[in-house]
A and B are shown apart, each in its own frame.
Chain A
Amino acid sequence: MSTDLIPLAVLMGLATYPFRAVPLLAPGFERLPERVRLYLRLVGPSVLAALAAVNTMVIRDAERNPVFHVGPEWLAVGLCILVVALRRSLLIGLVLAAGSIAVLRALGLATLP
């Protein structure tokens, strides 16, 4: 069994770990100024919303260029967000999101990505 790519995995791990570890291991993060704490509090909703939006609205075309995408995935993600906002249940939201898109695809109303 080939192991040629394991050193590459190690290098990729070394390139990733500092981003995850430095703020957690650097001293002084518990004594941050109020403005910085406010900023960090807003990172959560901001980056998660960016992840949701980019993964729903941006796809790559045949030449690997990012293009704006409008599709039934918007409906599924929007449904989940609505359920969480109204019912406060992420699990129900996810089941409805995946279920709705699966049904639409089974009916031929939505293409596979």
Chain B
Amino acid sequence: MSLEASRRQLLVDSLGIMVSAGGFGLVYGLSARAAGFSPLEASAMSIIVFGGASQFVAVGYVLGGFSWLAIVLLTAFLNARHLLYAAALAPYLADQPRPLRAMMAHVLTDEAFALAIAHFRRIGRADVRGYWMGAIISTFIPWNLATLVGVTIGGSIPEPSRFGLDVIFPAAMGGLAVGLITGRRELVAAISGAVTGVAVALAWDPAAGIIAGGVIGPLVGMAVRPGPRDHEREGQLAFGPEPAHEHAIPYVPQRSEHAHDDPSEGLP
């Protein structure tokens, strides 16, 4: 798929993520307000941590009078899955300047990863502007604006769950997972990840389940023989219009000499 077509697809996909980030950000802001956070404190957490689940837990733990050490350790545990995201994106971004990668890392969330990996695999290389689009425009800005609205305006806002906004996040993650399935191995990895995730979540903790699913799913997928047509489909993946031709896009990210991006052009 061409860069422009993939960016258009990314923009459309981002709309749903934007609504989801806004809805959750609002709920976080409301929760923070109820726990006695000032707007400055709630916003500082959304800007500096920028990790939904860990922020919700922090609100609950602050309210419950837990120690800061416990909150920080739990934050590390909850956000450890980002290591997998960064590792999966790293081969694509290896040619980008280090300060740029350092900035990109700060906004690497579930949503940013899901949008970026689908976009990069559609075009077979990195796209810095596309990354910022998914990470900043569709996630960081709505999350932070909604946090501010929730913590300042508070109770006059209707419950977002009434409008079904709570299902947007899992639905978006499921839909984006389907978009990444191009063969038998991806399918098996996705199913294994889901089953492992739920099993570990029930036996121990939901955050541990997500990490376990992300670690074990690929191992199961690798143990499976690729399907007869998987090789030619490898790299096409992701949703959006079907490719107009049969040429498979190589998975291996292209090096900078093939990339047309000026790394600085997409800076937020």
Within 8 A of A (CB), among B56-92: 58, 62, 68, 71-73, 75-76, 79-91
Chain A residues near B232 (CB, 8 Å)? none
Given known pairs A24-B89, A45-B177, A55-B170, the reply for A39 and B219 (CB within 8 Å) is yes
**A112 CA / B44 CA spacing, docked (Å):** 30
**A65 CA / B120 CA spacing, docked (Å):** 38
Chain A residues near B262 (CB, 8 Å)? none
Among B40, B72, B86, B222, the residue within 8 A (CB) of A35 is: B222
Chain A residues near B88 (CB, 8 Å)? 40-41, 43-44
Query: Are A19 and B83 in contact, CB atoms less than 8 angstroms apart?
Result: yes
**A34 CA / B93 CA spacing, docked (Å):** 17
Given known pairs A11-B68, A58-B209, the reply for A46 and B193 (CB within 8 Å) is yes
Among A19, A38, A102, the residue within 8 A (CB) of B76 is: A19
Among A16, A39, A40, A58, the residue within 8 A (CB) of B79 is: A16
Within 8 A of B (CB), among A1-36: 1-6, 8-17, 19-26, 29-30, 32, 35
| CB of B227 within 8 Å of the partner chain | no
Among B85, B104, B212, the most chain A Cβ lie within 10 Å of the Cβ of B85
**A45 CA / B191 CA spacing, docked (Å):** 9
Among A47, A90, A98, A112, the residue within 8 A (CB) of B239 is: A90
Contact with A along B161-188 (1 / 0, CB 8 A): 1111111111111111111110001110
Query: Are A50 and B214 in contact, CB atoms less than 8 angstroms apart?
Result: yes
Query: Are A53 and B198 in contact, CB atoms less than 8 angstroms apart?
Result: yes
Chain B residues near A45 (CB, 8 Å)? 177, 180-181, 186-187, 189-190, 193, 217, 221
Query: Are B172 and A90 in contact, CB atoms less than 8 angstroms apart?
Result: yes
Interface size class of A (residues with CB under 8 A): 35 or more
Query: Are A19 and B82 in contact, CB atoms less than 8 angstroms apart?
Result: yes
Query: Are B213 and A54 in contact, CB atoms less than 8 angstroms apart?
Result: yes
Chain B residues near A25 (CB, 8 Å)? 98, 101-102, 105
Query: Are A17 and B105 in contact, CB atoms less than 8 angstroms apart?
Result: yes
Q: Which DSSP category, helix, strand, loop or mixed, fits chain B's interface?
A: helix
Contact with A along B194-217 (1 / 0, CB 8 A): 111110011011100110111011
**A84 CA / B210 CA spacing, docked (Å):** 22
**A35 CA / B147 CA spacing, docked (Å):** 42
Query: Are A46 and B190 in contact, CB atoms less than 8 angstroms apart?
Result: yes
How distant is A46 from chain B, measured CB to nearest CB, in Å? 3
Query: Which residue in chain A gives the minimum CB-CB distance to B96?
Result: A24
Query: Are B170 and A77 in contact, CB atoms less than 8 angstroms apart?
Result: yes
**A58 CA / B163 CA spacing, docked (Å):** 21
Query: Which residue in chain A gives the minimum CB-CB distance to B186?
Result: A45
| CB of A85 within 8 Å of the partner chain | yes
Query: Are B41 and A3 in contact, CB atoms less than 8 angstroms apart?
Result: yes
Query: Are A50 and B170 in contact, CB atoms less than 8 angstroms apart?
Result: no
Query: Which residue in chain B gives the minimum CB-CB distance to A57?
Result: B198
**A13 CA / B169 CA spacing, docked (Å):** 23
How distant is B151 from chain A, measured CB to nearest CB, in Å? 11
14 pairs, CB–CB < 8 Å, chain A vs chain B = A12-B49, A17-B106, A23-B83, A24-B101, A30-B95, A43-B217, A45-B186, A46-B216, A49-B191, A54-B197, A76-B171, A77-B167, A80-B171, A84-B239
Give 8 nearest A-B pairs by CB, closest first: A50-B213, A46-B217, A50-B197, A47-B214, A46-B193, A52-B174, A30-B94, A42-B218
